Amino acid sequence: MSHDHHHHAAEGNLKVAFLLNLGFTILEFAAGVWTNSVAIQSDAIHDAGDCFALGLAWYLQRLSQKTANPKFTYGYRRLSSLGALITGVVLLCGLGFVVGESVSRLANPQEVKAPAVVVVAVVGLLFNGAAAWRLRGGESLNEKVASWHLLEDTLGWAAVLLGGLVMSVWDVPILDPLLALGIAVFVLWNVFRNLRKVALVFLQAAPAGFDAAAFDRELAALPHVVGAHHTHTWTLDGESHVFSTHLVVTCDCGREDVLKLKRRVHELLRGHHFLHASIEVEFEGEDCAAGSEPC
């Protein structure tokens, strides 16, 4: 129930963030032409990519709530992570454009209407700040990637505001592309950092914070357990995890002992957000079904 509630909340948060970003992007394109600011024009392109990515992330988050079926036996939860991946890739493409435009302006600085830049920056802070606030504390990778970008946009507009205030006093047009480059580098770092987390999901890495080797040792310390092997764990979307293991038990282990062991393993997994756990029990000396070696 709590997972379903969270996924619905994530969908609503992404919807609001998308609509706020869309409204501001339209204003920003017009403002970039009005102020002749490459920082604003570049960020408008960046925000247009954000709009596409946020809209797709919202749609995929909604699809991820569909229940399991014979074809997708774990459901559609991984679509949420796919939304995060697409968001990150789109932003990388946008950043390439920002860097190219900024380098071009460094070679040929142009005058910027600084007072107008200040006005646009204040509006940008309000829109992006509201969207970032809406996505704060999101648990899904989809929300986390989107919230980082929106937070970075907010910080970027703070930098643009600072540049506009400086250029209102001193004539330093080169500051505009320098700020754009600085923002691009900052965004790039965080995009790569978040895309790494998404990649780990698709590569079926163990969930963050879960040590499978240490858990094997914990299992081996249980009554009647000789050891554990073929322990596998992965995450569907960064939140819902899957676990499987082979427990090797002593030959005197009875049915009730096996049932107690399984319950104990589930208790140990509790709190780690495991959606599903498969526990296979083998007796000492029995050949492992997953390999030719004795267990």
Let me know whether 131 and 218 are in one domain: no
Mean pLDDT, the chain, integer: 79
- Give per-residue pLDDT as tens, 156-200: 777 778 777 877 777 777 777 787 787 778 777 777 877 888 889
- Give per-residue pLDDT as tens, 42-57: 667 767 777 877 788 7
Let me know whether 251 and 117 are in one domain: no
Let me know whether 230 and 155 are in one domain: no
pLDDT band per the 50, 70, 90 thresholds, residue 5: very low
As for how many domains the chain has, the answer is: 2
pLDDT at 286 over 60: yes
Closest CA to 248 of 206, 291, 209: 291
Whether 159 contacts 179, CB under 8 Å? yes
The phi, psi pair for 204, rounded to 5°, reads 60, 40
* Of the candidate ranges 130-134, 147-151, 163-167, the one whose mean pLDDT is the lowest: 147-151
Q: Is residue 295 part of a domain?
A: no
d(CA 75, CA 65): 8
Residue that wins the pLDDT comparison between 267 and 238: 267
Domain boundary among 202, 228, 243: 202
| CB-CB neighbours of 250 under 10 Å | 13
What is the pTM (predicted TM-score) of this model? Answer: 0.66
Let me know whether 176 and 56 are in one domain: yes
pLDDT value at position 6? 47
Let me know whether 154 and 251 are in one domain: no
d(CA 216, CA 233): 12
Whether 83 contacts 56, CB under 8 Å? yes
Return the CATH number at 196: 1.20.1510.10
Let me know whether 278 and 191 are in one domain: no
Residue-number span of the structural domain to which 265 is assigned: 212-283
Whether 98 contacts 180, CB under 8 Å? yes
